[in-house]
Amino acid sequence: GLSWSANEKSLKDAFSSFGEVTKVRIAYDRDIGRSTGFGFVSFTEEDEAASAKDAMDEKALQGPPLRISFALDRVHGGPVVVPRLSTHVTPHYTRSRCFGNGSGQ
């Protein structure tokens, strides 16, 4: 649900009230240069990221409501394989967060 008009500064501004944001990245379509509707926000502390996820999930940011979930960290260029976790357990293996509209657009 990330608005096409959102940029990295607006994301950092929106999420920095929850803690120290270390990195913000928006995914762009290579062919047309427009946002694909999702991006990543990384925090220094896991509890800050969890607070941001809880507070911002389903909240509008320059458009439709965001759908926020945890993203997997990568190790040496490959995805980390982790067991399925209960929805009540906060993953301890990542500080990154991914949000998007879920449609791949």
Higher per-residue pLDDT: 83 or 59: 59
Q: What is the pLDDT of residues 16-55, one digit of tens each?
A: 999 999 989 888 888 888 888 888 898 888 889 999 999 9
Cα 51 → chain centroid? 13
Q: What is the pLDDT of residues 67-87, one digit of tens each?
A: 888 876 655 555 444 444 444
Q: What is the dihedral of CA 22, 3, 36, 12, to 10 degrees?
A: -10
Instruction: Label each residue of 22-59 as H, E or C.
Output: EEEEEEECCCCCCEEEEEEEEECCHHHHHHHHHHHCCC
The answer, as to whether pTM is greater than 0.75, is no
Q: What is the pLDDT of residues 43-54, one digit of tens each?
A: 888 889 999 999
Handedness of CA 55, 84, 93, 91 (dihedral sign): positive
